């Protein structure tokens, strides 16, 4: 979240930031509440000083064996005023916090201001596949090979849930094992395996709550949320902690299943793997010093790009415009993979720098060797990568004329040496 003092002193910049992200927040109301709170705190501090002085006077009068009855009555009146003001201030502070929590992160100066039409392509890799036949979609391929059962997935859980079968299930497992091995062995990440149910504090710390509550699956009986991404539990590993500067940077990677209600997206891509409610993803999370965070973002992006290059999947990288970015991000790159059967570019990874936005919400600070707090860390995360659309790209780009799918070479050891998925 943004610091209240920063908002107060940079109100025009915050207004511009809200416009850039197309978010409406009542800053006028926030300003009035902030002003009222500061006036009340000054009055409260004055009353507390009066109370302390009265206590000292009463003690002196008792020592001198002077009747303190009148002074005690006066002190009780002051105490009563204090007791009345405390809940008023707390109520104002709660409303202030509620408004501040709805203010998105400000975008980095390099980010284009506008909607998705201003997203900027900054890189492209690989040649688009060509075929001497009309390529099929992943839905046609998966059903023909009997490796994904869309109908039974719907029967089990509802629309946009998927049942992987046989070599489809094995290919899914091969993908996330390959990614974890790549990021831990070559990119220096430490592997984690976190819970997929988290508490409200965790969801608030990374910015999913309260803004995006309707997109989350909530287990009301236990007040726990199914995670939309491993970013949530992994970032919150260090919630309410002060890290040592010499520990930074810290790199974590985690494979989890992810859950998203996709509220407001019904009717879009209702068949297939493009938009699903439950999916697998390997996540990359970084905790870094503020002065290095944008270098770390480029490095993070490179780690995600490397996945697709090894798999031989053509991709392009977009720098997102302000109006297409997430609530918490200051700068974000999307990696879109090409899917030949659909003839579309599909987002399969997002890599973001949140600067200190999440760290403030989650209270993740760092200190120098002298033990003094230096501020909040910068957090970053990226998909390293999401599996559904990666699976789409593999099935559609590696399909053969006879309806089979060639396995990317790097995955074959994870598939027990299988090099092609054939019809049963």
pTM score of the predicted model: 0.92
User: pLDDT tens across 211-222, in order?
Assistant: 999 999 999 999
Tell me phi and psi for residue 154, to 5 degrees: -65, -40
CB contact at 8 A, 336 and 316 = yes
User: pLDDT tens across 337-365, in order?
Assistant: 999 999 999 999 999 999 999 999 999 99
Q: How is residue 119 annotated by DSSP?
A: -
Instruction: List beta partners, residue 406.
Output: 420
What spatial distance separates the first Cα and last Cα of the chain, rounded to whole Å? Answer: 53
pLDDT of residue 56: 85
Q: Alpha helix (H) ranges present in 252-410? A: 293-311, 357-362, 387-397
Write down the mean pLDDT value for the chain.
95
How far is the CA of 189 from the CAs of 182, 254, 356, in angstroms? 9, 9, 21
Assess whether pLDDT exceeds 60 at residue 266. no
pLDDT of residue 181: 98
CB contact at 8 A, 304 and 335 = yes
Assign 72 a pLDDT band (cuts: 50, 70, 90). Answer: confident
**Cis before 367? omega within 30:** no
CB contact at 8 A, 159 and 268 = no
Assign 263 a pLDDT band (cuts: 50, 70, 90). Answer: low
Assign 415 a pLDDT band (cuts: 50, 70, 90). Answer: very high
The two tokens of residue 61 are 């009068």
Q: Which of 375, 384, 313, 306 is nearest to 352 (CA)?
A: 384
pLDDT of residue 9: 96
pLDDT of residue 70: 82
User: pLDDT tens across 305-319, in order?
Assistant: 999 999 999 999 999
The mean pLDDT of 228-242, rounded to a whole number, is 98
Q: pLDDT higher for 77 or 14? A: 14
How far is the CA of 376 from the CAs of 101, 130, 247, 248, in angstroms? 17, 49, 14, 12
Assign 267 a pLDDT band (cuts: 50, 70, 90). Answer: low
By three-state DSSP, how is residue 263 classified?
coil
- Which range of 41-50, 61-70, 306-315 scores highest in mean pLDDT? It is 306-315
Assign 265 a pLDDT band (cuts: 50, 70, 90). Answer: low
Q: Label residues 131-148 b or e (16+ Cβ within 10 Å = b).
A: eeeebbbbbbbbeebebb
Assess whether pLDDT exceeds 80 at residue 268. no
Assess whether pLDDT exceeds 60 at residue 49. yes
pLDDT of residue 305: 98
Distance (Å, whole) CA 396 – CA 267: 23
pLDDT of residue 59: 85
CB contact at 8 A, 281 and 180 = no
Assess whether pLDDT exceeds 60 at residue 257. yes
The two tokens of residue 186 are 């070559």
Distance (Å, whole) CA 37 – CA 44: 10
Q: What is the CA radius of gyration of the chain?
A: 27
Assign 269 a pLDDT band (cuts: 50, 70, 90). Answer: low
By three-state DSSP, how is residue 215 classified?
helix
User: pLDDT tens across 143-162, in order?
Assistant: 999 999 999 999 999 999 99
């Amino acid at each position: 979240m943004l610091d209240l003092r920063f908002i107060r002193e940079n109100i025009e910049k915050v207004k511009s930031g809200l416009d850039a992200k197309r978010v409406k927040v009542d800053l006028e109301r926030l300003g009035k509440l902030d002003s009222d709170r500061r006036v009340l705190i000054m009055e409260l501090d004055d009353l507390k000083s009066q109370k302390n002085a009265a206590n000292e006077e009463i003690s002196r009068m008792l020592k001198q064996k002077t009747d303190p009855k009148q002074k005690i009555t006066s002190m009780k009146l002051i105490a009563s005023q204090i007791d009345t003001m405390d809940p008023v201030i707390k109520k104002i502070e709660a409303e202030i916090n509620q408004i501040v929590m709805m203010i998105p992160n400000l975008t980095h100066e390099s980010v284009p201001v506008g909607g998705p039409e201003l997203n900027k392509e900054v890189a492209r890799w690989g040649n688009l596949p060509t075929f001497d036949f009309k390529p099929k979609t992943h839905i046609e391929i998966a059903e023909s090979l009997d490796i994904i059962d869309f109908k039974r997935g719907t029967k089990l859980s509802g629309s946009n849930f998927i049942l992987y079968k046989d070599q489809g299930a094995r290919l899914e497992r091969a993908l996330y094992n390959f990614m974890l091995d790549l990021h831990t062995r070559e990119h220096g990440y430490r592997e984690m395996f976190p819970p997929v149910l988290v508490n409200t504090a965790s969801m608030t710390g990374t910015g999913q709550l309260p803004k995006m509550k309707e997109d989350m699956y909530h287990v009301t009986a236990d007040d726990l949320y199914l995670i939309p991404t491993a970013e949530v539990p992994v970032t919150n590993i260090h919630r309410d902690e002060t890290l040592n500067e010499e520990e930074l940077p810290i790199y974590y990677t985690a494979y989890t299943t992810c859950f998203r209600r996709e509220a407001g997206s019904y009717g879009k891509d209702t068949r297939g793997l493009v938009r699903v409610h439950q999916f697998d993803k390997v996540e990359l999370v970084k905790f870094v010093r503020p002065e290095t965070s944008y270098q770390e973002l480029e490095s993070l992006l490179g780690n995600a790009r490397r996945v697709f290059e090894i798999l031989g999947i053509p991709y392009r990288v977009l720098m997102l415009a302000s109006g297409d970015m997430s609530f918490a991000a200051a700068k974000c790159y999307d990696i879109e993979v090409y899917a030949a059967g659909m003839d579309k570019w599909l987002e399969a990874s997002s890599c973001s720098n949140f600067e200190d936005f999440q760290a403030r919400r989650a209270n993740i600070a760092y200190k120098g060797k002298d033990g003094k707090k230096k501020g909040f860390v910068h957090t970053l995360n990226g998909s390293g990568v999401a599996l559904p659309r990666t699976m789409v790209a593999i099935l559609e780009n590696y399909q053969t004329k006879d309806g089979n799918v060639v396995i990317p070479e790097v995955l074959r050891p994870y598939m027990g040496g299988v090099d092609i998925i054939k019809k049963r």
